[in-house]
Amino acid sequence: MDSSAPPVEKKREYRRKSRFGCRNCKLRKLKCDETRPHCVRCHTYGVLCNFGFNIPDLQPLCEERAKQEIVRRSGLSSPRSTITNAIWADDGSTFFMLDLQDQELFNRFRYRTLYSLGGSAMVDIYENHMLEVSFTCPFLMHGTLAVTAVHDRYLGVTPTHRRSLREAYHWSQCTILCNKWLSQPIKEEHKDPLWATAGTVAILTFSSINARFPEEAWPLGAPDSSDLEWLRLGTGKMALWHLVNPLRPESVFRIMSETFAYMHGPLPAKGTDGVSVELVQLCGLDESSTRENNPYFTVVHGLSRLLEGPKGEASQGRVMMVSSHMHNEFETCLEKKDPIALLLLCLWYTRARESKWWIDLRAGYELPAICTYLQRYHRDNSAIQALIPWDETLVLV
């Protein structure tokens, strides 16, 4: 063998990387179904598929992140960002600069998370008003970035169930600044941003779960100050409704009047009309029952309307109509872990989780926790045992 002969170089097999596919799948490192105009994975997760979208403002961010990584690995000091590239949220008294990660969060909100918050009316409100306003209202910007970080966790973009420091920071700043503005007379230009921020705080509170497994979740887990905090927040949001009135003529939210009207629509004042026989017997209803003499009355009537709809098609209006009546005596029943109230909440979760991802996030823990609690501590109540939706506990986030 001729030792002077050059070694044969083995060529590595080259596999072409897809330059297409939607960014949602790329973020989650999943194969995108590029043969469709809207990929199946996005449809399954309930987010807008951005297949084919041209988002040029993400490109300089990616290039800048790549440059920073090269500098970090080389051990050289990283140059400061120039002031011309800085993006600020500033209301004249409070301000903060969005770093590269914040800018990426904002872009994911704009092109992905926004479309999961509500229908076309909500998208129009943000695209025509709130996206721009968030740069002059730091409390809204903080809330927007925090919600996007939670959505990242839900979609698996961030491989952890725990809040990141960035998510916790933006949530904290959102709450602090929002309370600051609410402690003084509210100007007209701040009413809509405050109402939008209240929506982000509601999402953040609802999706906040201090549990790793259903056994650690309420009502099975150890008592925690955050238990049912999402329900108590609803009372505060209704108080804010009267302060800012999102249906006033000047409000950008007035185009959602039909959704608001359904949420606060009338329920029967008396009797059992529209309620199934099983729920009538469970809640002890009869023709003389009213909201004054039965703590389950309004919830079970609203829940019956929600359950009668086709599975998988729960509307936001019907879902919120039920939760808006989970206060006063019913909330007290939940705090005491009353088995009937727990079962009604459990049945609500089975349909509510279909409508919004942040409800699905909580339901993934509390739904099986409630079912297990009822089986463990109320096994002798045959009416409750017959209605426990065990099949829904098989689908976890």
Give 188-207 pLDDT, tens digit per residue. 999 999 999 999 999 999 99
How many other C-beta atoms lie within 10 A of the C-beta of residue 8? 6
Among positive and negative, which fits the CA dihedral 14, 15, 20, 26? negative
> How would residue 44 be classed by pLDDT, with cut points 50, 70 and 90?
low
Degrees, nearest 5: CA angle 278-331-253 = 100
Token duo for residue 233? 């927040």
- Which of 84-88, 104-108, 135-139, 147-151 has the weakest average pLDDT? 84-88
How many other C-beta atoms lie within 10 A of the C-beta of residue 124? 15
Which residues, in sequence order, are CB contacts of 340 under 8 Å at separation 6+? 282, 283, 296, 333, 384
Mean pLDDT of 98-116: 95
Contact 288, 270 (CB under 8 A): yes
Three-state secondary-structure class, residue 326: coil
Three-state secondary-structure class, residue 87: strand
Which of 58 and 178 is assigned the larger pLDDT? 178
Which residues, in sequence order, are CB contacts of 393 under 8 Å at separation 6+? 214, 367, 368, 371
Residue type, 45: Y
> % helix / strand / coil in the chain, to the nearest 5?
55, 0, 40
CA distance 175 to 150: 16
- Which of 209-213, 322-326, 384-388 has the weakest average pLDDT? 209-213
Q: What are phi and psi of 90, to 5 degrees?
A: -145, 125
Domains of the chain: which residue ranges?
23-62, 88-208, 267-392
Does pTM top 0.75 for this prediction? yes
Mean pLDDT of 299-310: 92
The fraction of the chain above a pLDDT of 70, given in percent, is 77
Q: Cα-Cα-Cα-Cα dihedral of 241, 243, 249, 255, to 10°?
A: -20
Token duo for residue 230? 């999402």
CATH level 2 (architecture), domain 23-62:
Irregular (4.10)
Q: Is the pLDDT of residue 17 over 50?
A: no
Does the bond joining 159 to the residue before it have cis omega, within 30 degrees of 0? Answer: no
- Look at residue 391 in the predicted model and tell me its pLDDT: 81
Cα–Cα distances in angstroms (integers) from residue 21 to residues 48, 143, 194, in the given order: 13, 29, 37
